[in-house]
Amino acid sequence: MRRWLAFHRDLGLQLFALYLLLIVPFLVTLWAFDGLIGVRIRRDVQASNLALAQSISQEVNLAIAKALNTVAGLSTYEGVIKADEAAMGEIFNLVLATSPEVNLVYRLGPNGIMLYHAPTGPGSTVGVDFSFRDYFQAALLTDQPLVSLGRISPTTNQAVATAVMPLWSDDGVFLGLIGANIRLESLSQTLTAVISEHQIEEGLQVVILDAANQIIAYPDPQYLLHPAQDIIPEGYLVNFNGENDSQIASAPQGEERLYTRASIPNIHWQVIVSRPTAAAFATQIILRRIVLVAAGTFILIGLFFWGMLTVRVIHPIERLVPISEAIGLNQPISPPDQRYLFTESKRSDQIGNLIQSIIGMRDSIQERIREQATLLETSTAVVSSLDTETVLNRILEQMGRLLQIKMYAVIALDETNGSFRIRASRGLSKQFTEQLSIQPSEPDSVTMRALHVHEPVQVSDTETDPSYAIRKHRARLEGFRAVLAVPLNTKHAPPTALLVFHPTPHIFTANEIQLLTSFANHAAMAIEHAVLFERSDMRLREQTQRLEALVESLHDGLILTDLHGKIIYANKRIGELAELDIKNLSGMHADQILARIIEKASDPPARHKPPHNLLKTGGESKMEITCTLQNQTVHLRLEVFSVNDEQGTPIGHGILFHDITADWELDRVRSSLVSTVSHELRTPLAAIKGYVSTMLADDVEWDHASQREFLTIISDETDRLTSLVNNLLDLSRIEAGSLKLSMEKCNTETVIRNAAKEARLSPQNIFKVSIAPKAAALYADRLRLESILRNLIENSVKYAGETATIKVEVERSAGEIVFRVKDNGPGIPLKEKEHVFERFYRVDEGLTRPTSGAGLGLTICQGLVTAHGGRIWVEPQLEGACIAFTIPVKSRTATSAVRRTRSNEHQRSGRGRRKAPA
Amino acid sequence: MNINVLVVDDEKPLREFVRRNLEVRGYKVACAANGLEALAIFQNEPVQLVIMDIMMPHMDGLEATRRIRDESHVPIIILTAMGEETDKVRAFDLGADDYLTKPFGVGELLGRIKAVLRRADWAGTVSGGGRIVRGEVEVDIEKHQVRVRGEAVELTPTEFNLLVYLMKNAGKTLHHRAILQHVWGPEYSHEAEYLRVYMGRLRQKIESNPLKPVYLHTEHGVGYRFEG
């Protein structure tokens, strides 16, 4: 149903519409023409009928009028009026003689008795009462002539109509009437004459009816005075209203006729002319038949044409549509369809051609699809593996399947020996593949030519091609006659070509070459992929290794987790920090590790944010913890950062355990330095300010001796301040490596005495000096040596107390002078011995606060001793403390010694740091 | 004036300076060179005031202060060369009453000594007598006794004076400076540090939860208020 509605989609429907468009106007025109002609013919027939009827009616009218005039004339005769037989006989016979149609003239008396009639004849009706006659009754009511109805005259025994003239006396007495019987036969004769003028086949019928519809005149006398219904349809008679008209009606005999009538006005008679319609409308009927035949013919032709069109054109096309669709979609064609295609393709017309071309198309589509499928498989093969050999073999396999070739190979430059060798092949002998080696310098080689021009090159017959002459032998041995070389488009891989061999002379078609080029491109891709992958893989591996080594050797701990905090990577340092085997780390949750590390924190972990919050905050967050690892204090700064991919989407978290122990230490040293220096400076300043303010105080008057004592103290403290400042300067010079010693020969004892003088020994202190003879003099920076000794002595006083015995011993040993400063105080605890010289280290930091000057003093000593190229150390003692130092006898490279020391220090501190958290 | 002063410093010149100045002004002075000596003297002789350096060998001033405070309310003035906030706080925490930063002059020294002695004199600062009860805190001014929740609480004179001053003005917010001038003395009006440390110590002694004080309220940037 839908197909019928889909007018535009249906060729048959369109053609049908076109057909109708052509035929319908034609038939309509024909029908209209037929109608017009019919009307015209009918009008003509009616007109001729009417003319005939009118002419007859006039004629009858004339005859009747003549009879009426005659009777009217007779009524004027005296003899007639008086009913004088003799006179009437004379006149009546005269009338009879002149009017052949009148066969009887008579006179009725006032009571209707026949008075006289002429001719008298044997059957006389004189004396018979005719008062019952219709005309007598009519005559009683008028003085005008009238015509009677048709009847059989008893006198003449003939059908007549009577012209009657009533007779009235002058005083109005009815005197009777005069009648003249008109022979109706005579009227009929007139009609016969009229009819005879027309051709018999017209079937013309003429009849005259009286007012009572009796047949007055008719060619066949038998019908006279019969009711008109006998020959004229009753329906037509009933319609009469005195007008002329025309109508087709069926005659009582069954024939259809065209009736036309004309009335005879005065006497209410009518003339009816009729013809059979068959005759009347013959032309029109013929014309109609022609129209019908034409329409029928057209329809038949149309149907035939339609049928032919459907069978021969539309149906094949409709059937081809799904088939061609199926072909286009590469779907199977059903066997009936295939048979149909086969039979129809034998047609020699366009449809046949169309089917042939569809079949051709199907074949070529299938061929293409097969090619594409193979190429697709090849593509799949290319990406399926990164192993060049595998991929090449797969490509070659596909190639063989598609092209139905038996011998082919991939040849590539072997970079190790600089010649082209076969990398993969099919259908070639082992000997050939192993032995074939083409030098890049061979310009005639098909491979080289193809690689050179970057286009496929073929030798269609190895026997005849001159360029192949020298290799003919090889071709014969291997059994090929044609070669095609297709270069591969390689950029990163060495130059490569695809070789195809044909056992017989063969010209490779453009299609074959195109296909092979496709394969060559795929192969090139595979090779390139593999080469690039190999390179990038190697590079990636190198980078990864480098990165891993870097991360592993980091002194900082690093954890990388996924978004849920599960550890993906943790470096060695994390293992150390968490005291876990690094292998067990991955898969654990970062919170566990964090918790393990924070557990070791020396300050309460409650002070920190709980570790899982650290991860959950998402953004960057930091915290610092101090923990003890293997008896070493380690300061860690935890940094949590989110790890994003290239688009900036978070893919995980990183937690960095930055070891800030060194920074921490440095900070501590720095603040310690500041407070130490501040303390050291404030101590003499306090004495100075104290005594100055004491002297300035208004409320106390000090005696002279006291004032002098105070001023001495102020002076001493000022000296101390100066020397302190000098020491600090020296210290900073030592730090900067720019301390310059001014070496001179010094007397050992003098130096010691000077130092002791400044060292604020209390009077209770016992100070002893013992100098070995060989150490009486030495080469040194005198002021600085004094500084060293003063610091050490001061230290002894401070720690051993004001009543202690302090000894300075000097001896010479192996190229150096050894100084020892001893006291009998509490001594230096064993565990502190190593640290006393570290800058600003103070014994038992914690409970006992740094003793005045202690830290700085020993540090300065160490700096100055090493500046001289000597050593300083704590010497074990049974009682009290002993600090010893050496000064080389010949100190030449003082500054370099300082440098060396500094670098040693750095190494040591570096080692120390590395050791500490381990 | 028969006041014994114990001067403790490892630096002889400074020790001598203090001794000479105090002796000449009528104080009796004992000297020590370190904490251990100081404790020995403190235990054997009557001492009304201690002046102590922090940095000394063997036993430093802070430790000595702590030990003296265990036994006595004797006023202690700390001498420091650091002038660092943390040292001050630590000294106050351990029970020092005042401190002097080196270098200082005679005037300062004498002023501090007088102020400390004045504060240490119970009747000297708290005028009037009787009892003050605010909530669960009871103070007997005559007897210098404080009971909190029925239990006796030991307060130093300064702490006691501070508490009484705050309780007498209960409900009123007292400005830092007003408290300092009234409790410590006019020359202390800028030493907000003292007040902070002492308020902390009072809370430790009086409040059941010092972190959520019920009696001693801080008005940030203004001062303190006692509610009871």
Q: What is the C-alpha to C-alpha distance for residues A545 and A566, in angstroms, rounded to an integer?
A: 23
Indicate whether A7 and A80 sit together in one domain. Answer: no
What's the burial of A745, exposed, middle or buried (CB within 10 Å: 0-12/13-18/19+)?
exposed
Q: Greater confidence, B1 or A633?
A: A633
Interfacial residues of A (vs B; Cβ cutoff 8 Å): 675, 678-679, 682-683, 685-694, 696-697, 699-700, 706, 713, 716-717, 760, 762, 798-799, 801-802, 826, 847-852
Q: Which of A658, A675, A701 is the last residue of a domain?
A: A658
Indicate whether A308 and A411 sit together in one domain. Answer: no
Q: What is the C-alpha to C-alpha distance for residues A137 and A126, in angstroms, rounded to an integer?
A: 19
* DSSP category for residue A607: G
Nearest chain A CA: its distance from B195 CA (Å): 26
| For testing contact with chain B, the best of A668, A673, A683, A758 (most B CBs within 10 A) | A683
What Rg, from alpha-carbon coordinates, does chain A have?
79
A523 membership: H or E segment, kind and range: helix A510-553
Q: ∠A558-A562-A564 over CA atoms, to 5°?
A: 115
A205 lies in some domain: no
| For testing contact with chain A, the best of B10, B12, B102 (most A CBs within 10 A) | B102
B156-176 pLDDT tens trace? 888 888 998 999 888 899 999
- CATH code of the domain containing A828: 3.30.565.10
For B13, which residue in chain A has the nearest alpha carbon? A687
Q: Greater confidence, A909 or A657?
A: A657
A238 lies in some domain: no
- CATH code of the domain containing A110: 3.30.450.20
Write down the H helix ranges in chain B. Answer: 12-24, 35-44, 61-71, 85-94, 106-120, 122-125, 157-168, 176-179, 192-206
**Nearest C-alpha neighbor of B144 from the set A606, B130, B133:** B130
Q: What is the C-alpha to C-alpha distance for residues A293 and A832, in angstroms, rounded to an integer?
A: 143
Indicate whether A628 and A479 sit together in one domain. Answer: no
B61 neighbors B33 (Cβ within 8 angstroms): no
State the number of CA atoms in the 13 A half-sphere of A690 facing the CB.
Answer: 28
Q: What is the C-alpha to C-alpha distance for residues A357 and A363, in angstroms, rounded to an integer?
A: 10
B52 neighbors B77 (Cβ within 8 angstroms): yes
Query: Residue B24 and residue A693: Cβ atoms within 8 Å?
Result: no
Q: What is the C-alpha to C-alpha distance for residues B107 and B184, in angstroms, rounded to an integer?
A: 17
Indicate whether A470 and A582 sit together in one domain. Answer: no
For A710, which residue in chain B has the nearest alpha carbon? B17
Q: Residue A227 CA to chain centroid, in angstroms?
A: 98
Indicate whether A158 and A110 sit together in one domain. Answer: yes
Q: Fold for B4-120, please state it.
A: Rossmann fold (3.40.50)
pLDDT at B8: 93
Q: What is the mean pLDDT of residues B130-137?
A: 86
pLDDT higher than 70, residue A349: yes
Strand pairing class (B49-53; B4-8): parallel
pLDDT at A834: 67
A234 membership: H or E segment, kind and range: helix A234-238
pLDDT at B30: 94
Smallest Cβ–Cβ distance between A799 and the set B14, B21, B57 belongs to B57
CATH of domain B127-226: 1.10.10.10
Kindly list the residues from chain B whose CB atom is less than 8 angstroms away from the CB atom of residue A700: 21, 24-25
Q: Greater confidence, A239 or B155?
A: B155
DSSP letter string, A859-914: HHHHHHHHHTT--EEEPP-SSS-EEEEEEESS---HHHHHHHHHHHHHHHHHHHHH
**Domain span at residue A112?**
63-185
pLDDT at A898: 44
Distances (CA, A) of B173 to A890, B197, B220: 76, 18, 11
Strand pairing class (A882-888; A872-874): antiparallel
Q: What is the C-alpha to C-alpha distance for residues A589 and A581, in angstroms, rounded to an integer?
A: 15
pTM score, whole prediction: 0.46
Nearest chain A CA: its distance from B175 CA (Å): 33
Indicate whether A877 and A759 sit together in one domain. Answer: yes
Indicate whether A425 and A574 sit together in one domain. Answer: no
Indicate whether A795 and A880 sit together in one domain. Answer: yes
Residue B39 phi, psi dihedral angles, 5° rounding: -60, -40
Q: What is the sign, positive or negative, of the torsion defined by CA atoms of A516, A522, A528, A534?
A: negative
Nearest chain A CA: its distance from B203 CA (Å): 23
Q: What is the C-alpha to C-alpha distance for residues A250 and A256, in angstroms, rounded to an integer?
A: 4
Length of chain B: 228
**Nearest C-alpha neighbor of B9 from the set B63, B51, B46, B41:** B51
Confidence of residue B21 (pLDDT cuts 50, 70, 90): very high
| For testing contact with chain B, the best of A844, A848, A856, A858 (most B CBs within 10 A) | A848
Among A63-67, A894-898, B118-122, name the one with the lowest average pLDDT. Answer: A894-898
Confidence of residue A334 (pLDDT cuts 50, 70, 90): confident
**Nearest C-alpha neighbor of A822 from the set A851, A795, A785:** A795
Among A372-386, A494-508, B27-41, name the one with the lowest average pLDDT. Answer: A372-386
- Give the pair of three-digit tokens for residue A543: 């980078």
Query: Residue B104 and residue A700: Cβ atoms within 8 Å?
Result: no
- Give the pair of three-digit tokens for residue A861: 């000593």
pLDDT at A465: 84
Q: What is the mean pLDDT of residues A434-456?
A: 85
pLDDT at B31: 93
In sequence order, the 6+-apart residues with CB closer than 8 A to the CB of B38 are B6, B8, B32, B50, B52, B59, B64, B68
A200 lies in some domain: no
Nearest chain A CA: its distance from B216 CA (Å): 26
In sequence order, the 6+-apart residues with CB closer than 8 A to the CB of A128 are A113, A114, A154
- Looking at this predicted complex, what is its ipTM? 0.81
Query: Residue B11 and residue A694: Cβ atoms within 8 Å?
Result: no
**3-state DSSP assignment of residue A342:** helix
Among A677-681, B68-72, B163-167, B213-217, name the one with the lowest average pLDDT. Answer: A677-681
Q: What is the C-alpha to C-alpha distance for residues A618 and A640, in angstroms, rounded to an integer?
A: 8
Number of domains in chain A: 5
Q: What is the C-alpha to C-alpha distance for residues B102 and A588, in angstroms, rounded to an integer?
A: 57
pLDDT at A1: 52
Q: ∠B23-B26-B30 over CA atoms, to 5°?
A: 45
Q: How many CB atoms lie within 10 A of CB A245?
A: 16
pLDDT higher than 50, residue A902: no
Q: Greater confidence, B127 or A103?
A: A103
Average pLDDT, chain A: 80
Q: What is the C-alpha to C-alpha distance for residues A148 and B112, in angstroms, rounded to an integer?
A: 185
Query: Residue B84 and residue A683: Cβ atoms within 8 Å?
Result: no
pLDDT at B209: 87
Q: What is the mean pLDDT of residues B101-108?
A: 90
Indicate whether A438 and A569 sit together in one domain. Answer: no
DSSP letter string, B40-83: HHHHHS--SEEEEES--SSS-HHHHHHHHHHH----EEEEESS-
A825-875 pLDDT tens trace? 887 777 667 667 765 544 444 333 344 445 577 888 888 888 888 899 888
**3-state DSSP assignment of residue A258:** strand
Q: What is the C-alpha to C-alpha distance for residues A10 and A15, in angstroms, rounded to an integer?
A: 9
A821 lies in some domain: yes
Q: What is the mean pLDDT of residues A602-628?
A: 60
- Domain extents in chain B: 4-120, 127-226
A113-172 pLDDT tens trace? 888 888 877 778 888 888 888 888 888 888 888 888 888 888 778 888 888 888 888 888
pLDDT at A910: 38
Q: How many CB atoms lie within 10 A of CB A547?
A: 10
A409 lies in some domain: yes
Residue A102 phi, psi dihedral angles, 5° rounding: -90, 125
Interfacial residues of B (vs A; Cβ cutoff 8 Å): 10-14, 16-18, 20-21, 24-25, 33, 54-63, 79, 81-84, 102-107
Q: What is the C-alpha to C-alpha distance for residues A868 and A476, in angstroms, rounded to an integer?
A: 95
**3-state DSSP assignment of residue A707:** helix
pLDDT higher than 60, residue A618: no
Indicate whether A175 and A138 sit together in one domain. Answer: yes
- Tell me the count of A-B CB pairs closer than 8 A: 101
Query: Residue B55 and residue A852: Cβ atoms within 8 Å?
Result: yes
Confidence of residue A612 (pLDDT cuts 50, 70, 90): low
Q: ∠A847-A850-A856 over CA atoms, to 5°?
A: 155
Q: Which of A295, A321, A347 is the last residue of a domain?
A: A321
Q: What is the mean pLDDT of residues A444-460?
A: 87
Q: Residue A271 CA to chain centroid, in angstroms?
A: 95
Core vs surface per residue B32-70: b (16+ CB within 10 A) or e: bbbbbbbbebbeeeebbbbbbbbbbbbbbbbbbbbbbbe
For A700, which residue in chain B has the nearest alpha carbon? B24
